[in-house]
Amino acid sequence: MSETDSRNKLLKFFASFALFAVQLAGFRFYHLTDMQPMLATELTVELLLTLCLVILAIFSFNLALLILARILTPKRRLAIATPEEAALPRVLVQLPLFNEGELVERILTAVIALDWPRDRLQIQVLDDSIDGSLVLSRQAVAALRQGGVEIELLHRVQRTAFKAGALAAGLERSDAPYVAIFDADFIPPPDFLRKTIGTLIAEPNLAYVQARWAHLNRDESLLTRIQARLLDSHFGVEQEARWRLGLPIPFNGTCGVWRRAAIEDAGGWEGDTLTEDLDLSLRARLRGWRSGYLKDLAVPGVLPVSARAWRVQQFRWTKGFVQCFVKLIPLIWASPALPLWQKPIISLQIAQPLAFLLGTVCVLLGLPFISGAAVAGETLSRVAIVTSILGFAAPIGFLTLAGIRGGARETTLEVLGALALTSGLLLSNARGGLEALIGYRTEFVRTPKARAQTGPRAARWSYGLIELSAGLGLLGFVLLEQPIAAIYLAMVISGLLGVGTMQMLDGFALVKQADPQH
């Protein structure tokens, strides 16, 4: 299904909720003659809203626990073996690409510079590109092969299972016991294999080792700075806390090395979710394998420079996480390999993106209470207060703990900007979570890091229309019905308006770029 069809379905979905809210608001006009239906519906709405708020509070409380764990628990160190040169194992480096020809030369230059014996390094360029990128990959691979590098290009006409399928196809053509994976927009440091392979040799129970992401273009714009802070919080707070607690460390799809035996024991790469990395890492844990995290090993990469690209990326991650939740939650709770205390924590981890769907439902169900068509009971009011406090305090602590960069003012701007723009993804990520729950499948869409994109001109003009319309509509509704509620919904409204406006500007820029005389 095209993105336009998907957008239309999203509009119809939220239109039905809006109609429901309007119907509830109409209670004020007929409640004197039809009191019983009104009370039954109002109680149902209040119960659903309370339930959603309780679940959101649990998500925030879980985040707060990770913050405390990051602060209070001691650091963990991984052993790193230093075998003799003659004993170094054979390593396969896989580079999955899709329409990223402009990055091929840079990533290959970094891989060739890795400090590892050339006769024990095999490189695979897994390029499923459907544009001119394939020509650039072939030229780069041919040049390196003439120079004596063991490298091959694999191109599949059918993108079966997308990135997971490409990785699996490449694995069939190698017998290397260790597999390093890099997306094209990352640049591994020369000592990457020495540290990661050394760790896997020293710790035979580890399935893989994950390195930390760094950012080449962090300071390009406020958007990239916000993304960097969000990712720094993930790697510096969440991943580090899970590592210290002995919880599984999700593989992040790049900048890591797998033990081939663990991949095969876990069932191999599978493409039935959009986060094949999370899927395989959890399946490996269910088979008894552990995971390692090297926080001090940073691999710089490129952040998306457009709001549109960031939105696409976040949609894919959200949907993929929820797909893994649907797929793996029965296995997690039935697994004897996991201690009982870890099962609810892992469950909350992969269910966390459902917060966007629950948040959207809360906003919609809250409209009758804002308009005065329904009156919140004492229980709902207390739950709303607790959820709001946790919902602000936990993310602020999470984002701030990532570090103070550029002083308190710059840090505050990044933290508040991250809260607002993440709220602006409410509708898009809610759609991702809903599609995952109902089993609706979509293609794996690569995150474009450059601003240039393709697509019909009509689609470019509509970039950000949903978020901008929702933000303006919600703002107008609140100001007409209960202006004080604008304070409570400030993050959601500002986020929708911000993400919508930035996407619309991206669309205008693309139209102008395609037709300078327009």
Q: How far apart are CA 430 and CA 340, in angstroms?
A: 30
**Letter for the amino acid at 405?**
R
Catalytically annotated residue among 185, 277, 279, 506: 277
Single-letter code of the amino acid located at 346:
I
Q: Are 241 and 69 within 8 A, CB to CB?
A: yes
Question: Is 277 considered catalytic here?
Answer: yes
Query: What phi and psi, each to the nearest 5 degrees, are found at residue 31?
Result: -65, -20
Largest pairwise CA distance in the chain: 89
Which residue is listed with tokens 């390692």? 292
Q: Using CA atoms of 112, 104, 137, 152 in order, give the dihedral in degrees to the nearest 10.
A: 30
Residues in the chain: 518
Of 421, 44, 78, which Cα lies nearest the Cα of 222?
421
Q: Please state the φ and ψ torsions of residue 290, each to the nearest 5 degrees.
A: -105, 170
CB-count burial class (<10 Å; 0-12, 13-18, 19+) for 407: exposed
First to last CA, the chain: 30
Alpha-carbon span 69 to 64, nearest angstrom: 9
Annotation marks residue 128 as catalytic: yes
- SS3 per-residue string spanning 266-306: CCCCCCCCCCHHHHHHHHHHHCCCEEEEEEEEEEEECCCCC
> Which residues does residue 294 pair with via DSSP β-bridges, in sequence order?
211
CA–CA separation, 505 vs 512, rounded Å? 10
Q: What share of the chain is helix, strand, coil (3-state, %, to 5)?
A: 60, 10, 30
Give, in order, the Cα–Cα distances in Å from 328 to each of 45, 246, 331, 357.
31, 20, 5, 20
Give the single-character DSSP code of 88: P
Taking alpha carbons only, the member of 120, 106, 127 closest to residue 174 is 120
The active-site residue out of 128, 183, 232, 506 is: 128
- Residues with a catalytic annotation lie at 128, 277
